[in-house]
A = this chain, B = another copy of it.
Amino acid sequence: MCFLFSWCTFIKSPKSSQGHHVSMSSIDGVKVCVCVFQSLDYDNSENQLFLEEERRMSFLGFKCLEISRWVICGLIGFLTGLIACCIDIAVENLAGVKYYVVKQNIEKFTEVGGLSISLILWAVLNSAFVMVGAVIVAFFEPGAAGSGIPQIKCYLNGVKIPRVVRLKTLVVKVCGVICSVAGGLAVGKEGPMIHSGAVVAAGVSQGRSTSLKKDFKIFEYFRRDTEKRDFVSAGAAAGVSAAFGAPVGTHCTTCPSAQHVPQHNMSLSTTCPSAQHVPQHNMSHSAQHVPLCTTCPTLHNMSHSAQHVPLCGLLGALFNILNYWLTIFRIRYVHRPCLQVMEAMLVAAVTATVSFAMIYFSNDCQPLGPDQSEDYPLQLFCADGEYNSMATAFFNTPERSVRSLFHNPPGSYNPLTLSLFTLTYFFLACWTYGLTVSAGVFIPSLLIGAAWGRLFGILLAAITPNGSVWAVPGKYALMGAAAQLGGIVRMTLSLTVIMVEATGNVTYGLPIMLVLLTAKIVGDYFVEGLYDIHIKLQSVPFLHLEAPATSHWLTAREVMGAPVTCFNRIEKVGTIVDVLSNTSTNHNGFPVIVPLIISEQSMTPPFFIHPCFLSSLSLIPSSSPQLGKICGLILRSQLIVLLKHKVFVELARSRLTQRKLQLKDFRDAYPRFPPIQSIHVSQDERECMMDLTEFMNPTPYTVPQETSLPRVFKLFRALGLRHLVVVDSENRVVGLVTRKDLARYHLGKHGLEEMQLAQT
């Protein structure tokens, strides 16, 4: 039921534009908005213009394109690294100032009493930061909310999430993440960095900014979905590399979500991480110095990690389930921007209060050693030369807390501190994810996992004989972090490589992989991954890797949309305008058919029909357009450009000098094609005819009606299609399969289930 709701935070206001279409509907008495997402077209429309251009291009031209691709990738890598660096520096400085002020205040009031003033100061500072972050997200660019990884995943899958790769989103995202991390929320900055990389890539590769109305007249060849997708994928990879300092792991991350990315993109993505001259070593620095036994063989590690197995994934699944309920609650009741800002501020204040209470009531004092790496050691009620251990975990940015959990020597934390910390931080992080702020979930997951992993290690050392020798808490913290993160986001291969690269120790590769695999299997038994949950809650028609296993009894005839609006090869302008203006259908692709009443002049090759057919063909009434044989497919965006340039048969005859429409005209309009309402067509022009032959894709992929769903799915997913025409044995159009028709089937607990997606 809840799949009907979509995440309103994406939508600023329920307006209807070409970019996205929003309709308001009332379900369960609750007013929710249903966004209907469009698809991207990862299959080139190989029309005559395109083929002519490709054929004109020399071998050298293709080489030049290849070089441009490398240049763009270099630029993407450099800019993404720069942005990540700025985020890092800003967060460190702001958080530093904040913690310094609060620490001074606490120290001042510890002696004289009145620590409640410190608490208020801390809570107000946090709320102020978070308020700024939440306001810009909620009021200026709701698309910048969350980690951005689900959005990029959808984009690479072929769903056009509105405004996800725009400049404004980038600016809001960067400012927002700085505010939310500095505001002390239980969030990380890795997701936003990956999103930033993707936006940078989408911008740089197009050689212009539509927002700034600046066209550099370069990289024009790359102005289409297929090429842009490749660069966005590379940009996301650059973002991963910048966030984790893991240039190799990047490949593994971006590939699974975009199966139809051609492989030359693999080599492209390689450049981005390599070209980053500003490597960010957040995690690698934090974990590189883990004082673990680096010489113990892999088998030893494996046996250790096996002890984690029962816990792997369970906590992650719990996190996801809680967050799922919370998100549904938010969709229903917290969908106005001011409410969202207030909730974010509330969470910030509560985080500060809870942290303060935990630190206040903790009596875990640790000696302040000479090799002390604490950044803000709080003495509080501890003896001189000691510090409060709970404060190490809470009075710190999450990243630094992870680092201290990984590499502080055994004995730095007592079990009670760790269990209290795990418990509170778990609920705080769960509450925080999904707020209308720009924030990621990687670091909080790692922190929760590291805490319970370390706790597990300490307990193991205590209860097993000789345990204190081999049960090094830091190692268990690492494994716990992997398990928790794997249980929440459910990546295996990519996370293994990223964590191995980040820890800088290959010995942990196999145990980490085992832990992640177990976490995935256990977690998948209960609930989906966090990103998938949020993708579903946004009712995004996301196509998974394969069709559901038990869907062989469905055929194209059952899943396709019918009847289909078709156009004739030479169509009346009025008809086209009317169809495009019809907001109730709002189709984006239209099969082009050869009318069955065949006049002599349209009988041109390549659509030769055997003469003896003609006698019978003319018997069929032309009133049912579905009966025409398919000869092409044309997109709404192409028709809009044609209408804008008034490419009418009559005008071409009268104005012979008129410039012929080129592919460049389509590229200039990409990606923000004007809505049909903005194009004025006079009453006279409505009577003109439009010849679509040159502009339609003459060879769309088609399937017969009897094709099974897995077969249709495979074709759709492997080629990145947007429209698949279903034809009968006579090649007549009988239906059209789109992404939504396929995405509505999914495998439930008891077999195939059909979702009731909001229809276009």
The interface of chain A, by Cβ under 8 A from chain B, is 44, 46, 51, 54-55, 57-59, 62, 245, 247-248, 251-252, 255-256, 259-260, 262-264, 266-267, 270-271, 273-274, 277, 279, 298-299, 492-493, 496-497, 500-501, 503-507, 509-510, 513-514, 517, 545-546, 549-550, 552-553, 594, 606-610, 612-613, 615-616, 619-620, 629, 631, 698-699, 701-708, 711, 714-715, 718-719, 727-731, 747, 750-751
Report the bound CA distance from A727 to B702 in whole Å: 11
Write the chain B residue with the least CB distance to A720: B718
Chain B residues whose C-beta falls within 8 Å of the C-beta of A509 in the assembled complex: 247-248, 501
Chain B residues whose C-beta falls within 8 Å of the C-beta of A629 in the assembled complex: 729-730
B514 near A274 with CB under 8 A, answer yes
Report the bound CA distance from A42 to B714 in whole Å: 12
B550 near A57 with CB under 8 A, answer yes
A256-B263, A262-B546, A613-B616 given; name 11 further pairs at CB < 8 Å. Answer: A54-B552, A59-B751, A62-B549, A263-B546, A277-B299, A501-B509, A609-B729, A609-B730, A612-B616, A613-B613, A631-B729
> Lowest 7 A-B CB distances belong to which pairs?
A54-B552, A718-B718, A62-B549, A263-B545, A699-B707, A59-B751, A616-B616
CB of A45, distance to nearest CB on chain B (Å)? 11
B248 near A500 with CB under 8 A, answer yes
Given the contacts A252-B251, A274-B514, A549 and B59 also touching, CB distance less than 8 Å = yes
Among A629, A704, A727, the one with the most B-chain Cβ atoms within 10 Å of its Cβ is A704
B274 near A517 with CB under 8 A, answer yes
* Other-chain contact of A610, B59, B714, B730 (Cβ < 8 Å): B730
CB of A657, distance to nearest CB on chain B (Å)? 29
A612 near B619 with CB under 8 A, answer yes
Write the chain B residue with the least CB distance to A606: B706
Report the bound CA distance from A288 to B383 in whole Å: 45
Write the chain B residue with the least CB distance to A277: B299
CB of A754, distance to nearest CB on chain B (Å)? 15
B252 near A51 with CB under 8 A, answer no
Chain B residues whose C-beta falls within 8 Å of the C-beta of A631 in the assembled complex: 729
Given the contacts A715-B701, A728-B608, A270 and B552 also touching, CB distance less than 8 Å = no
B267 near A510 with CB under 8 A, answer no
* Other-chain contact of A552, B55, B256, B496 (Cβ < 8 Å): B55
Report the bound CA distance from A492 to B268 in whole Å: 12
B729 near A594 with CB under 8 A, answer yes
Chain B residues whose C-beta falls within 8 Å of the C-beta of A616 in the assembled complex: 612-613, 615-616
Given the contacts A51-B552, A610-B620, A708-B46, A513 and B274 also touching, CB distance less than 8 Å = yes
Report the bound CA distance from A285 to B223 in whole Å: 50
CB of A248, distance to nearest CB on chain B (Å)? 5
B251 near A493 with CB under 8 A, answer yes
A262 near B608 with CB under 8 A, answer no
B513 near A248 with CB under 8 A, answer yes
* Other-chain contact of A545, B262, B492, B504, B728 (Cβ < 8 Å): B262
* Other-chain contact of A513, B270, B517, B545 (Cβ < 8 Å): B270
A279 near B299 with CB under 8 A, answer yes
Chain B residues whose C-beta falls within 8 Å of the C-beta of A750 in the assembled complex: 59
B496 near A248 with CB under 8 A, answer yes
Report the bound CA distance from A497 to B493 in whole Å: 12
CB of A495, distance to nearest CB on chain B (Å)? 11
B270 near A517 with CB under 8 A, answer yes
A248 near B493 with CB under 8 A, answer yes
Chain B residues whose C-beta falls within 8 Å of the C-beta of A54 in the assembled complex: 552-553
B719 near A714 with CB under 8 A, answer yes
Report the bound CA distance from A79 to B698 in whole Å: 52
A267 near B492 with CB under 8 A, answer yes
* Other-chain contact of A493, B270, B279, B706 (Cβ < 8 Å): B270
* Other-chain contact of A504, B247, B260, B497, B507 (Cβ < 8 Å): B507
A612 near B620 with CB under 8 A, answer yes
* Other-chain contact of A550, B62, B510, B606 (Cβ < 8 Å): B62
Report the bound CA distance from A8 to B46 in whole Å: 42
Query: What are 21 sample pairs from A and B whose C-beta atoms fall under 8 A apart?
Result: A59-B747, A62-B549, A247-B510, A251-B252, A251-B493, A252-B252, A259-B263, A262-B546, A263-B546, A274-B513, A279-B298, A279-B510, A608-B728, A610-B730, A613-B613, A629-B729, A698-B704, A698-B706, A699-B704, A729-B731, A730-B731
Report the bound CA distance from A711 to B699 in whole Å: 9
Report the bound CA distance from A271 to B270 in whole Å: 27
Report the bound CA distance from A348 to B402 in whole Å: 57
CB of A632, distance to nearest CB on chain B (Å)? 10
CB of A9, distance to nearest CB on chain B (Å)? 30
Chain B residues whose C-beta falls within 8 Å of the C-beta of A248 in the assembled complex: 493, 496-497, 500, 509, 513
CB of A568, distance to nearest CB on chain B (Å)? 15
Chain B residues whose C-beta falls within 8 Å of the C-beta of A718 in the assembled complex: 260, 718-719
CB of A713, distance to nearest CB on chain B (Å)? 11
Report the bound CA distance from A54 to B548 in whole Å: 12
Chain B residues whose C-beta falls within 8 Å of the C-beta of A59 in the assembled complex: 549-550, 747, 750-751
* Other-chain contact of A715, B503, B606, B719, B728 (Cβ < 8 Å): B719
CB of A448, distance to nearest CB on chain B (Å)? 25
Report the bound CA distance from A270 to B252 in whole Å: 13
CB of A550, distance to nearest CB on chain B (Å)? 6
Chain B residues whose C-beta falls within 8 Å of the C-beta of A270 in the assembled complex: 492-493, 513, 517
Report the bound CA distance from A251 to B492 in whole Å: 12
Chain B residues whose C-beta falls within 8 Å of the C-beta of A298 in the assembled complex: 245, 279
B708 near A51 with CB under 8 A, answer yes
CB of A303, distance to nearest CB on chain B (Å)? 11
Write the chain B residue with the least CB distance to A241: B510
Chain B residues whose C-beta falls within 8 Å of the C-beta of A608 in the assembled complex: 728-729
Chain B residues whose C-beta falls within 8 Å of the C-beta of A704 in the assembled complex: 606, 698-699
B699 near A708 with CB under 8 A, answer yes
Chain B residues whose C-beta falls within 8 Å of the C-beta of A513 in the assembled complex: 247-248, 270, 274
